[in-house]
Structure 1
Amino acid sequence: MTDPRPVRIGLQLQPQHADYAEIRRTVAAAEAAGADVVFNWDHFFPLYGEPDGKHFECWTILGAWAEATSRVEIGALVTCNSYRNPELLADMARTVDHISEGRLILGIGSGWFQRDYDEYGYEFGTAGGRLNELAAALPRIRSRWAKLNPAPTRDIPVLIGGSGEKKTLRYTAEHATIWHGFGDADTVAHKCSVLDQHCRDIGRDPAEIERSTAVQGTPDETGSALYDAGVRLFTVGQDGAGGYDLARLKDWIAWRDDRNG
């Protein structure tokens, strides 16, 4: 599949090992630098570094970012489906959509970080069970959006994160507008081909789903290969330990501008 979409660059501004004032300054700097999307993540503890280091909650931050920014899209990469009732999550997303005047992306996945579950009182269960719960939640979210007053400002984009070929990519074909995966160009190309087949199986045009991935290194090292694999949203991860440094993000933004002409 050749995707005519322009390249977009995202920043995953990981809300760990930093004070919130620094996080807020960084989201503003990323917007000023030209990022297209700024994501956070949905965890309750740092994923690396000091395990009990500073950390902030995902959706509270998104509400604040909706007011602190004016152009970038915002979202979680990704919301854990287990932590909120689907109807509540739909209402939260609709509210942030309005606060941001239509800039929210609802990123969602089945969840995996057991410490979050154990310390906050959620049932961890099994990977298969969490995926089944995600499958049940996705139509409930859309159903609730249709009932809310006021309605969302737009058809809120749904990003599904994960690479499982039998379930996650099928759910993506059924419900998502963006797929976010991981791996090198060959891995991403293979996953895209599996997603394309799921789309064809249900009668959906694969071109309706934007392909997204986390990027490591420089655009000269990986950009062209990932682009050829179908990726159009390239997201740089940034941790707060030692201060947020947007140099790599700016390199990817410059590459985007050259690629898009």
Structure 2
Amino acid sequence: MSLVLGCNISTFDSTTAPADLFNAVRDQAIAAEEAGFDVVTIGDHLYATPGAPDEPTLEAYTTLAALASCTNSIQLSTMVTSNTFRNPAVLAKMVTSLDVISGSRAVLGIGAGWFEPEHDGYGLEFDAVSERMAKFEEALRIIVPMLRGERPTMDGRWYRVHEAINEPRVRDDLPVMVGGGGERRTFAYAARYADHLNITCLPAQLPDKLRALEERCAEAGRDPRTLEVSFATPMVINEDGEKARQQVEEILVQSGVDASMASEVFFVGTPAEVTEQLRAKVLAHGVHRLMVNLFAAGQDLDVIALTGRTLAPLVSGG
């Protein structure tokens, strides 16, 4: 199943009682399914990002497994799994179990990991970028074969497995989505191992990123048309465009980003305004898959519905 339009649940309402928090997340996932999104994703974090570390953050895979019983057709993924959190063979087992539970709706979204404070707080290793990337590739060499029904053996620098068994499985083509913006290594790993690349960058950087991806595919001997590509899309849509812009300014200030960057970072405004922005900055470059992050605005179910109504027709013909 293709990943065309995704809704990312990246923040949790700090005003909701902990006992009610999952119900709020469930309602957002159901709203995304009803609005025409074909995948709902959960941020894989131990601390809230952005925001204070003690704001609520649910563990991603237990949350996705619970969402599997509350939804019917929407695919389920992280945006994206931090490779630094889990042993890769155990991660392969976890996402495969999610696939069994959900009836073949799991997607493995994965990246190298980046948010240092949560690693420090939980006592997890946070290596230099070069080492994290080396770990990431070694992990993919274990995870991908296990998802395909193979039993890999590896005595690597970072990880060791011996004929690792991954049963039960319901399919051999569980999608692997690599997320990130690194032109040299992240894109190379996507070209070698993934079914889908979700590009994270400023909209103005997208043309250069796509050129770099073509180069990595050529180096890997892969036809770039066989690799799905989506754009990570920070967005706030509201029928009241000024209200949407005010919400984005609040998000940026909370994140410590200059609010004057709003137009460079976000797609923001009325449905018509956002549609025009996407056509000029994303669709014009041939990218017709969007992974949408509504941030706190996505806690409003009406915003999810409006976003789906706006975007589903826009990407369906891509």
Q: Same fold, TM exceeding 0.5?
A: yes
Q: In structure 2, which of residues 254, 273, 293 is the aligned counterpart of residue 237 of structure 1?
A: 293
Distance 1:185 1:114, change over 3 A: closer
7 and 259 in structure 1: CA distance in 2 versus 1, 3 angstrom threshold = farther
The aligned counterpart of 2:136 is 134
Query: Runs of 5+ in structure 2 lacking a partner?
Result: 15-20, 150-164, 234-266, 269-273
Report percent identity of matched pairs.
Answer: 30
Partners of 2:57 and 2:83 in 1: CA distance: 20
Does the 8 A contact of 1:80 with 1:110 survive in 2? yes
Distance of aligned partners of 1:152 and 1:126 in 2 relative to their CA distance in 1, 3 Å threshold = farther
Contact 2:44–2:78 under 8 Å retained in 1:
yes
Relative to 1, partners in 2 of residues 1:103 and 1:6: Cα closer, same or farther, differing over 3 Å?
closer
How far apart, CA to CA, are the structure 2 residues paired with 1:241 and 1:227? 24
Counterpart CA distance in 1 for 2:206 and 2:193 is 20
SS in 2 for 1:161: strand
SS in 2 for 1:39: strand
Q: Is 1:228 aligned to 2:284, yes or no? A: yes
| Partner SS, residue 104 of structure 1 | coil
User: TM-score if structure 1 supplies the norm length?
Assistant: 0.90
Aligned residue number for residue 178 of structure 1: 196
2:313 corresponds to: 257
Q: Could you tell me which amino acid in structure 2 is paired with residue 235 of structure 1?
A: M
For the 8 Å contact 2:10–2:295, the answer to whether it is kept is: yes
Amino acid at match of 1:180: N
Relative distance call for 1:183 and 1:242 in structure 2 (3 A) is closer
What whole-Å deviation, never above 9, does each CA across 1:114-147 have from its counterpart, x for those lacking one? 1111111111111111111001000100232324
Q: Can you give the 5+ residue segments of structure 1 that lack an aligned partner in the other structure?
A: none
State which of 213, 218, 229 in structure 2 corresponds to 1:195.
213
What is the 5 A alignment of 1:9-158?
9-18=5-14, 19-145=21-147, 146=149, 147-158=165-176
Structure with larger Rg: 2
Segments ≥4 residues shifted beyond 6 Å: none
Residue 75 of structure 1, CA deviation: 0.2
Q: Are 2:203 and 1:207 aligned?
A: no
The 1:56/1:194 distance shift into structure 2, 3 A limit, reads same
CA–CA separation in structure 2 for the residues paired with 1:7 and 1:60: 22
Q: After alignment, is 179-188 or 81-90 more displaced? A: 179-188
Aligned to 1:162: 180
Count of residues paired in the alignment: 257
CA distance in 2, matches of 1:135, 1:258: 34
Which of 292, 297, 303 is the equivalent residue of 1:247? Answer: 303
Whole-Å Cα distance in 1 between the matches of residues 34 and 298 of structure 2?
21
Rate the CA distance shift 1:154–1:66 in 2: closer, same or farther, 3 A. farther
Whole-Å Cα distance in 2 between the matches of residues 71 and 137 of structure 1?
Answer: 29
Partner of 1:87: helix, strand, or coil? helix
Deviation at 1:254, TM superposition (A): 3.0
**Aligned to 1:12, what secondary structure does the other structure show?**
strand
Question: After superposition, what is the alpha-carbon deviation per residue over 1:152-201, rounded to whole angstroms, capped at 9, x for unaligned?
Answer: 42411111111111111111110111111123444122111111111112
Whole-angstrom CA distance in 2 between matches of 1:249 and 1:108: 27
Distance 2:282 2:298 in 1: 29
Residues 53 and 6 from structure 1, CA distance in 2 versus in 1: closer, same or farther, beyond 3 angstroms?
closer
Distance 2:71 2:299 in 1: 20
Whether the aligned pair in 2 keeps the contact of 1:41 and 1:78 (CA below 8 Å) is yes
Contact 1:58 1:76 in 2 (8 A): yes
Which one is further off, 78-87 or 112-121? 112-121
TM-score w.r.t. the length of structure 2 is 0.75
Provide the rounded CA distance (Å) in 1 between the counterparts of 2:297 and 2:120.
25
Letter in 2 for 1:254: T
